[in-house]
Structure 1
C-alpha cells in the first residue's frame, strides 16, 4: 500500500502536534521527495549513514528526531549538508523530522518510551514546556538505579551520586537527550535522581550539594525509541512498510 505524501504529513502532524512547541528548527517535511509513500525508514538522526541505508532499502521516506536544519545555522548548502541533501534528492526520498514534539508525546515519544523500558509511568511533568517526566520509583540506591539504566540501555552511564550512605530512590525524573539544564527543575519537582543523555560541568556540583543523583546515559541511547514508535504506529495504521535503523553513536 501507499499514501499521498501530504496525507502522511498530516497524520504525523495530527499525532505529534508540533505547533504546540517552541522549537529549535522546522518540524514536519524538511526535504520533499516522491509524492506517494509506501516504505518508511526511521532513525534518530538524518545522518549520511542513515540516508544511505534508506537508499539501500528503497525507502520513500525517512522519519527522524534530529533533522537537517536548526535555528542559527549557516544557510549555505555545502559540505556534509550538501552530501546528505544531494542523496535525498537524487533518490526522491522525503525527510520528515520532529524534535520536541517527538520527545513529548505521552505514549510514543522519547520520554514515554524510555520510561516504559525502564519500568516507570510518569505521574507529573516539569521543566521548559513540561518536557520532563517524573514517576514513582523503588530502587535501593543511586548505584542500583545506574546499574538498571545501564543494563536496559546496553551502555555505560555516568553517575554522580551524593556522598554519604546510599539512599533509596523513591521519585525519579528524566528527560532524554541534551536536557542537563533540566536538572534544577527535577530537583524542584522532588526527584531523588535525574536521568538524561548528557552532563555538563555544573551538574556534578549540584548533585553533590543537593543530594539528588545525576545519571547521564547517552544522548543517542536515550533517544532511540521515539522515532520507531511513532513511525511504526503510523505505518501500521496506514498499511505502510516500516523499518527502524539504529546507526550507532557513542554520544
Structure 2
C-alpha cells in the first residue's frame, strides 16, 4: 500500500529545514493553499502558473511545491482573472500548494544558489548581500568571459547576456539566482571578477564598465530550476512512500 504524508507534517518539516522564520520575504512561505489532508504524490516546479497546476493535475498530484507562489506583497487581493483561474483549479482538485521563496534561494545545500553552484562546479567560500542570499567563491580555473559564458550556455541550455568588464581573467565568481541585479554592487564589494544572476536592469551595464567587473544575466527561470528539484527529492527521501515529480515548463525570462 502506498504510504501517505500529512500536510501538517510536511509543512512543519519544510519550515524547519529551510529556516523559514529567519527570513524577511515578499510573500508567505509555506502552505499557501490547503487541499486534501493526505499526500501521496507531490509535483515540483518553479512557478505556480496555470500550466504547472494543470500539469500537476494530469500527473495525479495531491500537492505542488514551487519557488514562486501565488501571493506577493503589493497585490490588491481581488480574486479575478489569472488569480481566479489558478485558485479555482487548485480548489476544484483539492490540491495543496507549498511555496518557498527566499528560504529556498538561501539554503546552503538544497537552495537555488547552492544547486546552481553545484551544477557549474563552483564552491562558495563566502556569502554576501541582503540576508546573506548571495554566494561567492573561486572558479576552478581562470577563464575569459567568452569561455565562462560558453560554459553557462552549455550547462543551462539557453543563451546568456554577458556584459564585459575590463577584460581581466575571471578568477572569482559571485552569484545569486533569479532577479538579483540589485546585488551587483555587493558582489563587486565581495571581490568578484564576474557576477551571475538571472536578470539585468539598465544600471548594471554602467557598473560593469566603470568597475571592470563582468556581469552575466543567465535567465530568471533558468537559474532557479534546481533548488525545488533538490527539495522535492529530499522530501521523497525523508517521507518514504511519497512520490515526487519535477515538471519543467520552459520560460524565456
Aligned to 2:186: 185
Aligned to 2:157: 154
Aligned to 2:130: 128
Aligned to 2:46: 44
Aligned to 1:140: 143
- My pick for the range that moved more, 230-239 or 19-28, is 230-239
Structure-1 separation of matches of 2:213 and 2:12 = 42
1:52 match: secondary structure: helix
The unaligned stretches of length 5 or more in structure 2 are none
Structure-1 separation of matches of 2:129 and 2:247 = 30
**TM superposition outliers: structure 1 runs of 4+ over 4 Å:** none
Q: Under a length normalisation based on structure 2, what TM-score does the superposition of the two structures give?
A: 0.97
> How far did residue 167 of structure 1 move?
2.0
Say which of 241, 247, 250 aligns to 2:249. 247
Q: CA RMSD in A?
A: 0.7
Q: Map 1:17-166 onto structure 2 (within 5 A).
A: 17-137=19-139, 138-163=141-166, 166=167
> How far did residue 114 of structure 1 move?
0.2
> How far did residue 140 of structure 1 move?
2.1
Structure-1 separation of matches of 2:9 and 2:165 = 51
The unaligned stretches of length 5 or more in structure 1 are none
Structure-2 separation of matches of 1:208 and 1:71 = 34
Structure-2 separation of matches of 1:81 and 1:59 = 20
Structure-1 separation of matches of 2:208 and 2:10 = 44
> How far did residue 223 of structure 1 move?
0.2
